[in-house]
Structure 1
Amino acid sequence: MIDKALLLKTRELSDQLVALQTPIRILDAINWDKQIKEEFFRQKCQKNPVIDRAYYQQRDLGFVPSELRQAFSTLQRNIINQLGQLNPIAQYMGKMCSEYKTVLSMLEYRGTPEFHDLSVELFGHPKDLFHAGEPSLTELANMLERPLKNLLIADILPDDPKNIAASDAVRILSEQVNASMVGINVEVMLSDGIVSDAAAGANNIKLNKDVKFSQRELDILEVHEGWIHVGTTQNGLAQPYLTCLSKGTPSSTVTQEGLAVLTEIITLKSTPRRLSKLVNRIQAVTKVIDGAEFVDIYRDYVAQGLSQDESYTLAQRVFRGSTPTGLPFTKDIAYIKGFVLVYNLIRVAIQLGRIDQLPLLLVGKISIDDFRLITQLHSLGVIESPKFVPPHFKDLRGLATWLSFGRFIGDLSFEQLENDYKPLFL
């Protein structure tokens, strides 16, 4: 166990890190104003929006990036000086400081090619490989698209009707999350300041007031935004020493979104169209890297049958922080990338007989890369076990059985199975 004085010093330094991070709002800093959308539609959707570096520079971030970056550098030195360079606590917090400094540099370069480069450094690139000799994320997305497209074209599994007004959705979702997250007290509220349909805060879920929802979508929001995003934030806030676990860095975003997507699938809440949307995000980012512009991505979405409003919103996600003819913001690859990473971690944990460690994925906003360090800090008493644990992680028997059987089935040749079973269908 670690000396109590060192733990108290850890809490002090961690609180300083949280305070420095608090004003950083990446999406607020890079999202486009409503006027940009209105002008795009006034131009009959024929011209790229007018966005350049000057557009971003006029936006007040609430802080000076260079000054805040210097403050993180000072804190990073203090962490090493007071905890020791080889101390696992110092290593964890030091990495967070470094990542936040890169975030601040990325925000400084909004509207320039460097923005994309720093985005790739933080979130990754769709053409990155998980392992040598295996498919890239883009190739995996294309492989996943084929069976999804067959399901969507056949319309065998139609989407539930979006017939719940946002105001009613607030009440319904509030009842659901507070029944399944006892003791957390999650607030569900309306918002007109978010681009997506919904977004999670520390103890709340915001719903776009201009959107109608289906009951299936509310079920997804319960487990995705509630169980994972709000749940891990609250678990981080409950930590006695490493309070910075409540704050997510970009690398932890990948793991967070992966956990959330995995949870959607394991709980049978997700749908083929929902998964197709996540796949399309990777493909859109890839197309922009290969030279597509905003109008190209917008038209692609319209051609897929999406409404003009939704097509604009999805296209904007790819270009926010950049320009309509520039390289993309790569955060949207996080969902499927994170799913693959988390899924494989769980499979290996089962294989090694270490499934008991998996709930530590929920102690806060952590990254897969830091999992060994997190388990070490947990064994030393620096990190406590998560306060809120979703049902599928609380009782791991079902998850272990499902994934163990999936490993066995995955070793069979699907091509041969398809040839043998295809004659059975009309």
Structure 2
Amino acid sequence: MSRRKLPDDYQKTIRALSDRIVQAQTPIRVLDAVKWDDSVRQSFLKHKGKSMPEVDRAYYDSRPLAFDSVEKKLEFQNIERDITRHLGQFNPVGQIMRRMCKEYRMVIRMLEARGTADFGLISQELYGAASDAFHAGDPTLADLGLMLSDYLNKIDDRGDLKDEPKTLAAKDAVDMLQSRLGAVFGDDTIRVFESDGIVADAAAGADYIKIRADAMFNERDVRALEVHEGLVHVGTTLNGQNQPICTFLAKGPPSSTVTQEGLAILMEVIAFASYPTRLRKLTNRTRAIHMAEEGANFLDIYHFYREQGYSMEESYGSASRAFRGSLPGGLPFTKDLSYLKGFILIYNYIQLAVRKGKLEQIPLLFCGKTTLEDTRTLRQLVDEGLVIPPKYLPPQFRDLNALSAWMCFSNFLNHLSLDRIEADYANII
């Protein structure tokens, strides 16, 4: 594609402003700021799950943020003002950077409100709510959660769909994952190592994936980590770090979380790395958030998980995800809606891109920590030479033949009535 030659001073201005955003957001670590420490878990389990976790506003006050929130909000406000001063009101890349500054200020406001009702309300502004519809007249995220649960319940008793035993220790998973990612990114690009300091089974960083040292895995788990954490989360970070001018693409505010998790879940599906147990985990997170939005407290969510056969430890861990940053009887932290919400939005976007013949826009989702609303602008920025196409792409997005064929069929199938199909197939299934 042809690229318009841009003045060097214009590119330098954008790079300088972009670098200021990257620098300003460095100490903001949302999940670290909202998580409950292990003493809360130990106390809850000591009381056999019969009393609410000991978390109140004073608990969060005892764990101060790693930055001065007033100064940090002012810093982003000054960057936003300088973006307008140097680039004008309607400059496309300036509009993206200004929105990021506004979003980071809202993130700080949310973290300032830990342990109050405002925390949950601001969380809904940033990540959405379970009662949100995808489009006018469409079902909500809560409807999707119930629908998927119903489907999963119908196949739950099949013995041939049971998970394989988790026989891989963390060290084995590290070696297997390191080998697979090395074949895609190069041997020294991504590091995989064991860690004692994480709650989840795995966590991705800028150029690494940490595996919890005491966790056990099976090969399906490792495959899911490969595509979810490696090909998407680390891959898009590396692509963002590779940007010579729009360096802000290496860092993602909450709005990019929906795109990130949507791409990751889509990759699990099209790489045949997903499975019913994994889908139920994501579905339960959505249902738990919806229940909390409707007034359920921590113990209600905890018993929701226990009734599905999860252990006390697993049920505590899942319930605490919904209330971290909030109070055990307050509104939930809604970040975990990003998985199913992002999957639906990304799937619809790709389907529409194929229908309209705009395949070139699909790989741009991997340019960095992108958001769906910026994809048209990203195409313009690539044409102008301000953004470079992604270096690292999953095979399914590097060669769009199979994905395009699938979406062509999908576009047609969307016009068929499932109720009519079910009635017609009644005698054969």
Place the TM-score, normalised by the shorter chain, in its bin: over 0.9
1:420 to 410, 418, 424: 424
Aligned residue for 1:202? Answer: 206
1:285 to 280, 286, 289: 289
| Alpha-carbon contact 2:245-2:386 (below 8 Å) kept | yes
SS in 1 for 2:156: helix
| Alpha-carbon contact 1:302-1:308 (below 8 Å) kept | yes
Aligned residue for 2:279? Answer: 275
2:63 to 59, 63, 85: 59
SS in 1 for 2:40: helix
Q: What amino acid is the match of 1:340?
A: I
Aligned residue for 1:254? Answer: 258
Aligned residue for 2:79? Answer: 75
Aligned residue for 1:372? Answer: 376
1:191 to 195, 219, 240: 195
Aligned residue for 1:44? Answer: 48
In structure 1, distance between residues paired with 2:112 and 2:367: 31
In structure 1, distance between residues paired with 2:202 and 2:296: 28
In structure 2, distance between residues paired with 1:161 and 1:250: 35
Q: Would the alpha carbon gap of residues 248 and 337 (structure 1) be closer, same or farther in structure 2, given more than 3 Å must change?
A: same
Answer yes or no: is 1:356 the counterpart of 2:354.
no
Deviation at 1:183, TM superposition (A): 6.6
Answer yes or no: is 1:326 the counterpart of 2:330.
yes
In structure 2, distance between residues paired with 1:255 and 1:26: 17
1:239 to 224, 231, 243: 243
| Alpha-carbon contact 2:355-2:411 (below 8 Å) kept | no
Deviation at 1:194, TM superposition (A): 1.8
Q: Would the alpha carbon gap of residues 183 and 363 (structure 1) be closer, same or farther in structure 2, given more than 3 Å must change?
A: farther
Deviations 1:96-134 (A, max 9, x none): 111000000000000000000110010001101111111
| Structure 2 counterparts to residues 61-210 of structure 1, below 5 A | 61-182=65-186, 185-210=189-214
Q: What amino acid is the match of 2:287?
A: Q
Deviations 1:318-341 (A, max 9, x none): 000001111100001000000011
Deviation at 1:66, TM superposition (A): 1.1
Q: Would the alpha carbon gap of residues 116 and 229 (structure 1) be closer, same or farther in structure 2, given more than 3 Å must change?
A: same
Which deviates further from its counterpart, 145-154 or 211-220? Answer: 145-154
In structure 1, distance between residues paired with 2:241 and 2:187: 14
Deviation at 1:228, TM superposition (A): 0.3
Q: What amino acid is the match of 2:241?
A: L
In structure 2, distance between residues paired with 1:402 and 1:213: 31
1:307 to 298, 311, 332: 311
| Structure 2 counterparts to residues 10-49 of structure 1, below 5 A | 10-49=14-53
| Alpha-carbon contact 1:148-1:272 (below 8 Å) kept | yes
Deviation at 1:200, TM superposition (A): 0.6
Deviation at 1:421, TM superposition (A): 2.7
In structure 2, distance between residues paired with 1:183 and 1:213: 23
Q: Percent same amino acid among aligned pairs? A: 47
In structure 2, distance between residues paired with 1:136 and 1:299: 24
Aligned residue for 2:347? Answer: 343
| Alpha-carbon contact 2:366-2:390 (below 8 Å) kept | yes
In structure 2, distance between residues paired with 1:184 and 1:209: 22
| Alpha-carbon contact 2:35-2:325 (below 8 Å) kept | yes
| Alpha-carbon contact 2:201-2:211 (below 8 Å) kept | yes
Q: What amino acid is the match of 1:378?
A: V
| Alpha-carbon contact 1:187-1:203 (below 8 Å) kept | yes
Q: What amino acid is the match of 1:70?
A: L
| Structure 2 counterparts to residues 208-247 of structure 1, below 5 A | 208-247=212-251
Q: TM-score, normalised by structure 2?
A: 0.97
| Alpha-carbon contact 2:227-2:264 (below 8 Å) kept | yes
Deviation at 1:282, TM superposition (A): 0.7
SS in 1 for 2:183: helix
Deviations 1:183-213 (A, max 9, x none): 7611111122222111110001111122111
In structure 2, distance between residues paired with 1:96 and 1:216: 36
In structure 1, distance between residues paired with 2:299 and 2:211: 27
Deviations 1:144-179 (A, max 9, x none): 221121111334311121111112211111111111
Deviation at 1:275, TM superposition (A): 1.0
Q: What amino acid is the match of 1:373?
A: T
Q: What amino acid is the match of 2:121?
A: D
1:410 to 406, 414, 418: 414
2:402 to 398, 403, 408: 398
Q: What amino acid is the match of 1:411?
A: H
In structure 1, distance between residues paired with 2:255 and 2:135: 18
Which deviates further from its counterpart, 61-70 or 233-242? Answer: 61-70
| Alpha-carbon contact 2:45-2:313 (below 8 Å) kept | no
In structure 2, distance between residues paired with 1:78 and 1:424: 66
| Alpha-carbon contact 2:45-2:312 (below 8 Å) kept | no
In structure 2, distance between residues paired with 1:180 and 1:63: 37
Which deviates further from its counterpart, 259-268 or 51-60? Answer: 51-60
Deviations 1:55-104 (A, max 9, x none): 11111322111111110101111111112221112111111111000000
Deviation at 1:410, TM superposition (A): 2.7
| Alpha-carbon contact 1:184-1:234 (below 8 Å) kept | no
Deviation at 1:417, TM superposition (A): 2.1
SS in 1 for 2:160: coil
In structure 2, distance between residues paired with 1:88 and 1:78: 15
Q: What 5-or-longer segments of structure 2 have no aligned partner?
A: none
SS in 2 for 1:156: helix
In structure 2, distance between residues paired with 1:259 and 1:179: 21
